[in-house]
Amino acid sequence: MNALARLDPISLTELTEKAELQVRVDRKYVLPLAAAHALIPHLDRATRVLEIAGMRIFNYKSVYFDTPDLVSFRLTAHRRRRRFKVRTRTYLDSELCFLEVKTEGYRGGTVKSRLPYHMSHEETVEPGRSFVDSVLGERPDLNFAPTLLTHYRRTTLYQPAGHSRATIDTDLTWTDVDGRMLGVPDIAVVETKTGSAASPVDRMLWARGHRPVSISKYATGLAALRPDLPAAPWRRTLRRHFVPVPVAAL
């Protein structure tokens, strides 16, 4: 993404101050990788790109947790209210880790709660169980274990119009607890995060014929690896974009 070089940087501190958006509306798009790269030169010049220690593209790792009967996955697959996700997210370049709980907010928005976490605990929720319970409510029936691991590379954009953010994720891979692996190197997942109104990136994507799709890194990835699971919300996305590529070939 050499076109990123023309954009002014924004620090993580300033990005958090201007567009933390822990309560937000997310719109997700799946694009061919070349189409995602082609967006960058056409961004408004006011757009700024997250830069930390001279880097503008960052490596992410997420561990998703679910119960033995996959209650988190099934609530999402069946579009139930009060669905949630529990994960650790590790920023590999800065070695920062957070325990995060995402819940459904007002009118379908997303609420993300997070707790600073030690990297050595990234595969367990136990040190942060009281935090998880404070968000979800104490439910002793929810016995969480690691279910899915994801890796990807992310670029984060800030647009002053509406104080919105957009992320571009590439080189996505998934691994489940049984060792099944999936990579989709030829696509990018673009996600806009706004207070409510559409962002400039949304409007740019719409003008190019791209529309939001139903995709969840956790639920869609697990459905791709586990054909026995219900996948109705993501069937079209899976059919069009999740063509398995051996991870060893990436």
Would you list the domain boundaries of the chain?
A: 2-249
Q: Who wins on pLDDT, 225 or 248? A: 225
pLDDT bucket at 106, cuts 50 / 70 / 90? low
The CATH number of 2-249, from 2.40.320.10, 2.60.40.10, 3.30.365.10, 1.10.630.10, is 2.40.320.10
DSSP state of 105: -
Q: Is the pLDDT of residue 164 over 80?
A: yes
Q: How many helices (H) and strands (E) does the chain have?
A: 7, 11
Average pLDDT for residues 88-114, to the nearest whole number? 87
pTM for this predicted structure: 0.90
Q: Is residue 190 a contact partner of residue 36, using CB atoms and an 8 Å limit?
A: yes
What pairing do the DSSP bridges indicate for beta strands 84-91 and 48-50? unpaired
CB atoms within 10 A of CB 241: 19
- Cα separation of 114 and 161, whole Å? 26
CB 56, CB 50: distance < 8 Å: yes
Residues in the chain: 250
Distance (Å, whole) CA 64 – CA 245:
22
Q: Is the pLDDT of residue 22 over 80?
A: no
Q: 34: part of which helix (H) or strand (E)? A: helix 33-39
C-alpha distances out from residue 86 to 21, 23, 62, 119, Å: 18, 16, 10, 16
Residue found under tokens 């006011």: 46
pLDDT in tens, 31-45: 999 999 999 999 988
Lowest-confidence region among 14-23, 40-49, 78-87, 159-168:
14-23
Average pLDDT for the chain? 89
Interval 175-201: pLDDT, tens: 999 999 999 999 999 999 887 778 899
DSSP states along 44-101: -TT-EEE-BTTB-SEEEEEEEEE-TT-HHHHHHHTT-TT-EEEEEEEETTTTEEEEEE
Beta carbons of 63 and 92 less than 8 angstroms apart: no
